[in-house]
Chains A and B, each alone.
Chain A
Amino acid sequence: MTKILWLRASLISKVVVYTLLALAAVITLLPFLWASINSIKTSTATFEPHAFIPFLNFEPTLDSWRNVLSDPQAINAFISSVVVSVGTTVFALILGVPAAYALARFQFPIRSGDIALWFLSQRVLPPAVVLVPFYLLMVSLRLVDTWIGLILCYSAFNLAFAVVIMRDIFRDVSTEIEDAAKVEGATPWQIFWKISLPLSVDGLIVTAVLVFAFTWNEALFASALTSQSATTFSALVLASRSTRGVDFNIAAVNTLIGIVPPVILYFFVQRYLARGLSFGAVKG
């Protein structure tokens, strides 16, 4: 980061900068705080938005947490989300990373960047547009309302991330060691598996986290392709919005449970994040 601008700044500028940053941080954190407070209120107490401090303004209770956590549907949805997100991540990486490596290291009749772009092109399709064929495909494969059905869909959608980001990461890894290994008589597979991949672990982790988060947060396909046993947490949240109406405290608990897992993962990855999010178009 550019220290020089900061060091040369006047005291007033510094105060202004901190004020703005603090404001941004507060606005970012406020919904979390609001949800946390509502989650320990009773349903009636939630209609007192001014009661903000536990014990002082209102009597905190864990009832809504117990309510949600004792609901087998919510537990089942949470497990579904974990299984589907992890499954998708693993599957998208198994398919995408080797392809990315091939595009980074070898030449194809078509320009490598154009193949990457082709992978990317599916991302412009509004998901609702391909919903019909996907639904019918899942019906014919008897995969409606199954984890596998969702994993198949999601891995296709997220493959673009894995391919485009990892291609970019692999291209950054120096080929000197690979060349040396080649001279020693290593096979292409050994070079990929034992040299390039271990050198790209950081990028691999960021890609995995992004795929996990996007899968975890997806709601449209999750709602359309599941009905009960494979319902994910996001689909459950969407459904409870319309079926249960809005109990502020229950909504708060649901929100927090839904939000926390990917946000925790986010804390561990920052380095390649911009590259990943821009499909490698932004260099880190």
Chain B
Amino acid sequence: MKAMHGRPAEYGAVFKYVLLLPAVLWVVAFTFAPLIFVIRYSFANYVLGMGITGYIGLQNYADVLASDRFWHSIMVTAIYVAVSVPVEVVLGFIAAWLVNLGAPWARGFRTIIGMPLFTMEVAIGYLGVTLFSSQGGLVTAVLELAGIEVPWLSTPSGGIAAAILLDIWRWTSFVFIIVLAGLSSISSDLYDAAILDARNHWQVMWRLGIPLAWPVTTIAILLRIIEGLKVFAIPYALTTGGPGTSTEVFSAMDYLTTVQFFNFGQGSAMGIIFLIMVAALITVFFKQMRKRLG
């Protein structure tokens, strides 16, 4: 590295480890070590108050895989991500493109559109109850004016749809902020050139904006998928998984298994199964990030 001409090997040879190691040890202690315990518990018969009473091989895994509730939560999570992420990406991209045009007050719009990302998700879910409630809910009331009646929180599909709408409200801002950074880093010379041989605005966006912002957008998409698969707060605060367990996402299911029923064995096995299911996605994510991090 350029900072180290002279005697590269000696300068800061100990110092650099003094700086780095505490953080490494911290992450090992509080993330990777717990993960090893998760693997151990997934094979164990855990009884509350007694701890591990024995190892039961793959029984926890078999129980989880045979559970309808588990598969249902996987399906809800998959639908949730499959619907919300594409919408967020498209809306976030369009919003970023419009703000990036540099209209007067664009900065004000930027500030407002980026804001939801900093809001507390459980609070948004909780507020969502008052938005989608059949009695006095804002969304319900507005739709009523148009003569549309949607049973938001009383049906499974309505509940999931409401949660997805809130998710889109909350997370579009994330795509927006990242894509905007990508778009604004495109040199204005390129815009000047593009505008000369494009017939209209859309061509500039399709030929210049989208291709050049694509690498950044990929990162936004991957991060959204990874975060989306972990989703808990918005849908859980909105519907608490109901009616019944019909709108329960994976994280909520795992959370309840662990915290409410103290079924640590199955809770752990569930987590491992989930990680295996999304392993391919995680691999793609790491490959992309590795390229970018340099």
Q: Is the CB of B118 within 8 A of A263?
A: yes
Do A99 and B15 contact each other (CB < 8 Å), given the known contacts A5-B204, A273-B177? no
Q: Is the CB of B118 within 8 A of A265?
A: yes
Tally of A-B Cβ pairs under 8 angstroms: 367
A-chain residues with CB within 8 Å of residue B178 when the two chains form the complex: 274, 277-278, 282
Q: Is the CB of A98 within 8 A of B22?
A: yes
Q: Is the CB of A119 within 8 A of B226?
A: no
Q: B170 to nearest A CB, angstroms?
A: 10
Interface 0/1 of A219-249, CB less than 8 Å to B: 1100110000000011001101110001010
Q: Is the CB of B126 within 8 A of A254?
A: yes
Q: Is the CB of A117 within 8 A of B102?
A: no
Q: Is the CB of B114 within 8 A of A273?
A: yes
CA distance A26 to B293 in the complex (A): 36
CA distance A278 to B124 in the complex (A): 23
Residue B64 at the chain A interface, CB threshold 8 Å = no
CA distance A120 to B285 in the complex (A): 11
Q: Is the CB of A128 within 8 A of B250?
A: yes
Stretch at the interface among A9-17, A55-63, A66-74: A9-17
Q: Is the CB of A241 within 8 A of B216?
A: no
Contact of B293 among A6, A192, A238, A281 (CB under 8 A): A281
B interface SS class: helix
Residue B255 at the chain A interface, CB threshold 8 Å = yes
28 A-B pairs (CB sep. < 8 Å): A1-B101, A2-B100, A25-B112, A27-B169, A28-B113, A29-B112, A35-B130, A113-B293, A117-B293, A122-B31, A132-B268, A134-B30, A135-B258, A156-B27, A156-B31, A188-B16, A217-B233, A220-B232, A223-B255, A234-B233, A237-B126, A251-B129, A251-B130, A255-B124, A273-B181, A277-B174, A279-B223, A283-B181
Given known contacts A123-B226, A125-B31, what 6 new A-B pairs fall within 8 Å (CB)?
A34-B131, A99-B24, A118-B27, A126-B275, A129-B274, A280-B293
Chain B residues proximal to chain A, CB less than 8 Å: 1-6, 8, 11-12, 15-20, 22-24, 26-27, 29-35, 37-38, 41, 94-95, 98-103, 106, 109-127, 129-131, 133, 135-138, 140-141, 169, 173-174, 177-178, 180-186, 188, 191-192, 195, 201, 204, 216, 219-220, 223, 226, 229-230, 232-233, 236-237, 240, 250-252, 254-255, 258-259, 264, 267-268, 270-272, 274-275, 278, 282, 285-286, 288-290, 292-294
Shortest beta-carbon contacts, A-B, top 9: A129-B271, A274-B181, A156-B30, A133-B34, A1-B102, A128-B254, A99-B23, A133-B37, A281-B292
